[in-house]
Chain A
Amino acid sequence: MKNQLKVLRAMRNWSQADLGEHLDVSRQAVNAIETGKYDPSLPLAFKISRLFDLPIEQIFDDEFEGAVDV
């Protein structure tokens, strides 16, 4: 899944280690999420959302463009 994590991290001049420290995950985890190789769990996505004070959908993009039927 595409995401803005690397950009948001750069805006704060944080290393992957810094972000890993804030999220209590390893640098490999941060790298895997940034490069779209791993999609975080919902609890971790909420943690990221709170850390950057942004809604989840502004950080993660599932590239869905249609409308949801209800």
Chain B
Amino acid sequence: MFNTDENAGRNALRILGMILCGFGIIMLLGAIMGFLSVHMAEGGGPLNMSDYAIVAALISVNLMLAFAIWRLLQQMKRSDQKVPQREKVYNRFMVGSFLFGGVTGLIFALTGSFDANETNLFASGAMSPTLAIIMSVAIGVIMPAVTFYWHKNVVDEQEEAAYRFGALIAMYAFWFIAPVWWFLWRGGMLPNVNGIVLYFMTLSVALIVWFWKKYR
């Protein structure tokens, strides 16, 4: 029992692997959708053999990635006989969030509910009021409530410290990156400062530092 903990130390790599596989699945689903959209735009009709081969290859890679996630999850479960109650709640919360986000995104993508331009996070083009309200409520109302519950009831003090350190480094990153970008824009070397890009850069720094502090 005592020695099984050494195996648990690799869980950071397993989680990282699962996240990368998840992103891979989302990107490949996008590729399949894109391929079929182009086919439809070119007149549609039945797919020929090479089209089927391409779609089948993309689906096969997706299935392999899904299998890899399942295997990594099984390895994580085997890495120790039992998991503390707090960690179980944490894991259920994480899996639930990923499933909810993934299924919602997939439904939007498969039903073609919104135009690709308006769902592009890095674009500043016009967005339908419906999607604007959905996103605002999700980020401005639901996320703060979930985050409050998350910090109050789910994370332990070691992870809380990881979040604090991540936030500190992200704040410094913002303090330094924003004015440097602004100066370089004024010097004509960079495009105008983009608030959303800065937001994602800050968020990325916070998440990378949090991950390193929690799992190193």
Q: Which residues of A contact B (CB under 8 A)?
A: 9-10, 13-18, 20-21, 24-29, 31-33, 37-38, 40-41, 44
Contacts and interface: CB of A to CB of B under 8 A. Distances in A.
Interface stretch (B50-58, B83-91, B98-106, B195-203): B83-91
The A interface is mostly helix, strand or loop, or mixed, namely helix
16 contacts: A13-B1, A14-B2, A15-B5, A15-B80, A17-B5, A18-B82, A25-B157, A26-B86, A26-B87, A26-B90, A29-B159, A33-B158, A37-B216, A38-B161, A40-B157, A41-B157
A20 B159 contact: no
A18 B83 CA distance: 8
A44 B157 contact: yes
Contact of B83 (A13, A17, A33): A17
Contacts of A26: 84, 86-87, 90, 156, 158-159
Contact of B80 (A13, A17, A38, A41): A17
Contacts, number: 75
A27 B89 CA distance: 13
B158 A15 contact: no
Interface string B185-216: 00000000000000000000000000000111
